[in-house]
Chains A and B, each alone.
Chain A
Amino acid sequence: MAAKLDVVSDLKKLIGGKNVSGSLFERVAYGQDAIAPDLPVENIPIAVAKPDSSESLAKIICYANDNKIPVYVHGSGTSFKGSACPKRSQSIVVDTGNYKQLEINEDDFYFEVGAGVNQYDLEIFLQKRGFLLPMNVGSKHGSTIGGAIAVNTIGHMVDSCIGKIIDYVMAVEVVLPNGKIIETGTKSIRRPAGIDLTRFFVGSEGLFGVITKMRIRLVPMPKKAYVAGFFSKPEDIARAFMKIYKDRLPAPLYGELLGKNTAAAAFMERGLGEPPGDMAIATTIAFSQDEANRQANEIVKVFQAQNAIKAYVVESPEEQSALWDARDFITNRLQKQEGKPRRLRAGGFEVGVPLSRLAEFFSYIKSGPPGYPALSESEVMFYGHVGASGPHVSWTVSEDTPAEKRIQSIREARRLEKEFSVKWEGIGGEVGQTASRISAWREKYGENAYALLSMLKATVDPNNILNPGNLEGEGYED
């Protein structure tokens, strides 16, 4: 349908020339996400639109609906599962970057934020006013709040301590696939009981509408204390966090693991020397500093009891910053090191596993699971949110590894991720379930659940214009 239209001109007439680009290189750049394969040339979008109001977006959506043009919503394209990439040809990419509204209402204890506000900017904005942003996504320096709300993620934080972001979202403004604009929720910190459409949209991964604005409850900044521990194997770190729950200690805000080989480059970059072992870090929070410190000391005792090489409360702000930055910027591990060939990523995933099986997860991966020959030959790197029972694993190969072998490893990692989701009774807790992950979701929950989801999508978006291919897993077939 779009082939017969001058989509760029039409969009410029609808929302203004400065908000639309038909430049080829622009369209390519907006068609990519973080680690998806190259965008197939035939799927390069026709136009990129940056509406600056919900009404402008509604006009685009109506136009797309009338002409059956696929629309892909782009926050900043930092998704790890391909959801922001166009799966179909002749599409429009809508960038939400112009939704920059940010207002705080301390009397009613909320803030309202546009979908395009950068997460790190928002974190600093709140921090300066004495509040905590209850999420910390790894890509926060580049990514938008709208994208995080669309997948209901808190990133590195621990669910058992802080909840998911849905627990704080009081309302959303949404442009529906038919172009209508609705607002859900409430202005009261007393959340609706029963039906609350906010919950329908938060975490729906853009299948049912485009979230343009959110109202989020304020969270007073807690006092924090910091713990670091070094261990000879990741299983001990896993057991330490399992023990924290078993002993009914308060779950920390952060409970992170960084394998020794994963940490090496980030440590070197920050002048920390060789990591003494696999690293565990935890951040405790409380209303008073004394209580945060008391919890931190309890975690030190747990670490020590689980064979930590060393474990201590990190007092110095410089060391706190260096250790936690080493965790936040672990992509350093893929930088070229002096005298060594560069390592390339060859697959990886994050998965939630039942708490009682957390240590087993690491043993199983280290043992080289049967049926995954390429992964067995790649170097395994552990990291992730063990405090939330959400470990991450990635594999790397040397840059001179043949491309086919690297691709095989990536495919095997996806298959293994599915094995964990289906057989280990957890599922990814951080980056969403559609696009590259939908086949795992489908197998885990079954065809009846998938049919229900498809029916909901068809009801809300009968022309399937909004992010088509994500629910179908197009481009990520097994």
Chain B
Amino acid sequence: MKTENSEIEKRRSELTDLLSDEIDLLKVCQKCKMCLRVCPLYTDWYTEGPVGRILAIYYHFNYGIGTKKELADLLFTCTTCRKCQNLCKQMAMGVKTTDLIVKARRILVEMQSLGESVNG
């Protein structure tokens, strides 16, 4: 049992490290909000669009802000159409918004499967 727990902890740590490499790259995002213009889901609030979602990922994993459930609720609404990622490459910093959202989703799912509460 002890070995199993330590394996789970190790995997959790690996997942967090995996994401933190990507999150580091978010520091280049200038929050120019151009991505909102092409997002099919954005209407009123930033978290409906790419910039709000990636800031949520950044602040959750860097500062422990919000629960994993709140984060998942945001990330799983993304259609992954990649319009924001393409636009950012052409006109701005080349932040891989969609790739990051997809990666963060996978990590959240795997963390949940490892027994981590989505409410924490």
Residues of A at the B interface (CB closer than 8 Å) are 21, 23-26, 28-30, 32-35, 38, 41, 44, 48, 50, 76-78, 97, 118, 139, 141-143, 269, 329, 331-332, 334-336, 342, 344-345, 399
Measured CB to CB, the nearest residue on chain A to B87 is A141
Are A25 and B93 in contact (CB-based, < 8 A)? no
- Residues on B with C-beta less than 8 A from A38 are 59, 62-63
Whether B25 is near chain A, meaning CB under 8 Å from some CB there, is yes
- Residues on A with C-beta less than 8 A from B71 are 25
- Residues on A with C-beta less than 8 A from B106 are none
Are B25 and A41 in contact (CB-based, < 8 A)? no
- Residues on A with C-beta less than 8 A from B36 are 142
Are A28 and B65 in contact (CB-based, < 8 A)? yes
Measured CB to CB, the nearest residue on chain A to B73 is A25
Interface residue tally of chain B, by bracket? 20 to 34
- Residues on B with C-beta less than 8 A from A345 are 28
Known: A141-B37, A142-B33, A344-B27. A29 touches B55 (CB 8 A): yes
Residue of B45, B52, B70 most packed against chain A (CB within 10 A):
B45
- 1/0 contact string of B4-41 vs chain A (CB within 8 Å): 00000000000000000000110110111110110000
Option from A35, A48, A331, A344 in Cβ contact (under 8 Å) with B92: A331
Q: Interface SS of chain B: helix, strand, loop or mixed?
A: helix
| Cα-based distance from A363 to B25 in the complex (angstroms) | 33
Instruction: List residues 36-60 of chain B with CB under 8 A from any CB of chain A.
Output: 36-37, 44-47, 51-52, 55-56, 59
Option from B33, B44, B59, B91 in Cβ contact (under 8 Å) with A28: B59
- 1/0 contact string of B61-75 vs chain A (CB within 8 Å): 011011000110010
Are A335 and B89 in contact (CB-based, < 8 A)? yes
Whether B90 is near chain A, meaning CB under 8 Å from some CB there, is yes
- Residues on A with C-beta less than 8 A from B46 are 26, 29-30
Measured CB to CB, the nearest residue on chain B to A30 is B46
CB distance from A216 to the nearest CB of B (A): 23
Residues of B at the A interface (CB closer than 8 Å) are 24-25, 27-28, 30-34, 36-37, 44-47, 51-52, 55-56, 59, 62-63, 65-66, 70-71, 74, 89-94
| Cα-based distance from A32 to B62 in the complex (angstroms) | 15
Measured CB to CB, the nearest residue on chain B to A18 is B44
Q: Interface SS of chain A: helix, strand, loop or mixed?
A: loop
Are A32 and B93 in contact (CB-based, < 8 A)? no
| Cα-based distance from A372 to B55 in the complex (angstroms) | 32
CB distance from A404 to the nearest CB of B (A): 14
Measured CB to CB, the nearest residue on chain A to B66 is A24
| Cα-based distance from A28 to B63 in the complex (angstroms) | 11
CB distance from A457 to the nearest CB of B (A): 27
CB distance from A121 to the nearest CB of B (A): 9
Are A332 and B94 in contact (CB-based, < 8 A)? yes
Are A34 and B30 in contact (CB-based, < 8 A)? yes
Are A25 and B52 in contact (CB-based, < 8 A)? yes
Q: List 7 A-B contacts (CB under 8 A).
A: A24-B65, A28-B55, A34-B30, A141-B34, A142-B33, A342-B28, A344-B27
- Residues on B with C-beta less than 8 A from A336 are 94
Are A28 and B31 in contact (CB-based, < 8 A)? no
Are A76 and B33 in contact (CB-based, < 8 A)? yes
Q: A29-B52, A44-B65, A334-B94 are in contact. List 15 more A-B contacts (CB 8 A).
A: A23-B45, A25-B52, A25-B55, A25-B59, A28-B56, A28-B65, A29-B46, A29-B56, A32-B55, A38-B59, A48-B45, A139-B32, A329-B90, A331-B30, A345-B28
